Structure 1
Amino acid sequence: MSARPDQHAEFTTAPRRSKPWGHETVFAGGEHGYVGKLIAVDAGQALSLQYHVEKDETISIVSGEAVVEYGTSEALLQSRTMQPGDVVHVPAAVLHRLTAVTDLLFAEASTAAPGWQEDVVRVSDRYGRAGTTAV
């Protein structure tokens, strides 16, 4: 197989962003049609209870243990414990939250429709971000 003259590999450094619950590293920022993140959550911390209008996510636990809450409303949340190798697909509009039982590292792949960075509706958040799209 021969490469076309316009094909080449691109190398960058993935930005690491501090979050109130840990940090995330965005290694694919949507410019190629998808988003890829490595997300580290400190033991006992939790992401927002949130949903996305359009964004579709698949999450794979790399290390640690998490409790994932999910459902169609706060009153109907179910929970499941996830460990390394476990994968969950979260379609748009599904309410969800991950809580780290131990220090947690997970990979997230998601769709990258225009405005994906702002496509989060926080229903509740321990860090004062409820109802916002603040990162």
Structure 2
Amino acid sequence: MNQNVVSDSADVYPAKFVSKPWGREMIFAEIDDLYVGKVLYVNAGESLSLQLHNEKTETICVVAGRGRLEFGSDPDALEGAAFGPGDVVHLPAGVLHRLSAEENLVVAEVSTAFSGWRDDVVRVDDRYGRSGTTAP
């Protein structure tokens, strides 16, 4: 990681971008055993996996664009809600969820970051062939 140390207690470094089949994510905070901060850029017409996390808890806020959020405990009986700028959802561990973009969508996400958080995804359904995997 390229870091320019500003002082003994602050670091300045570039955010990490990760390409995704639905767009990309920018990881701007990654503090082990505390939290992760991301900005997700979801292209219009695309959607994230229908997924859940066994341990990770997330809170998501729409920054720009419009989409739809599906959530619940049963993949055959999910609730749905329109999701627009300023809307926030808290997703406790174990809750199935999927975010779809009706137009280009930008969301901020913060989540818990215990050891192994990157692999804590159970994909129930995925239009990009990643069902059952933890692949990015």
Normalising by structure 2, report the TM-score.
0.92
Q: Separation in 2 of the partners of 1:32 and 1:47?
A: 25
Aligned partner of 2:126 in structure 1 is 125
Q: Separation in 1 of the partners of 2:120 and 2:92?
A: 13
Aligned partner of 2:25 in structure 1 is 24
User: Alignment identity in percent?
Assistant: 52
Q: Separation in 1 of the partners of 2:117 and 2:41?
A: 20
Aligned partner of 2:87 in structure 1 is 86
Question: Are the structure 2 counterparts of residues 10 and 134 from structure 1 closer, same or farther at C-alpha, using a change threshold of 3 Å?
Answer: same
Counterparts of 1:50-89 in structure 2, within 5 Å, are 50-89=51-90
Counterparts of 1:25-40 in structure 2, within 5 Å, are 25-31=26-32, 33-40=34-41
Q: Separation in 2 of the partners of 1:7 and 1:91?
A: 35
Q: Separation in 2 of the partners of 1:97 and 1:32?
A: 25
- What secondary structure sits across from 2:118 in the alignment? helix
**Please, which runs of 5 or more residues in structure 2 have no aligned partner?**
1-6
Deviation at 1:75, TM superposition (A): 1.4
Q: Separation in 2 of the partners of 1:9 and 1:115?
A: 25
Aligned partner of 1:43 in structure 2 is 44
Aligned partner of 1:103 in structure 2 is 104
Q: Separation in 2 of the partners of 1:32 and 1:26?
A: 16
Count of matched residue pairs: 130
Deviation at 1:89, TM superposition (A): 0.2
Deviation at 1:33, TM superposition (A): 1.1
Q: Separation in 2 of the partners of 1:8 and 1:114?
A: 23
Q: Separation in 1 of the partners of 2:72 and 2:60?
A: 16
Aligned residue type for 1:41? V
More strand by share: 2
Deviation at 1:30, TM superposition (A): 2.9
Q: CA RMSD in A?
A: 1.2
- What secondary structure sits across from 1:117 in the alignment? helix
Q: Separation in 2 of the partners of 1:12 and 1:32?
A: 20
Residues 20-72 of structure 1: CA deviation (Å, up to 9, x unaligned): 00000000123361000000000000000000000000000000001000000
Aligned residue type for 1:119? D
Regions of 4+ moved over 2 Å = none
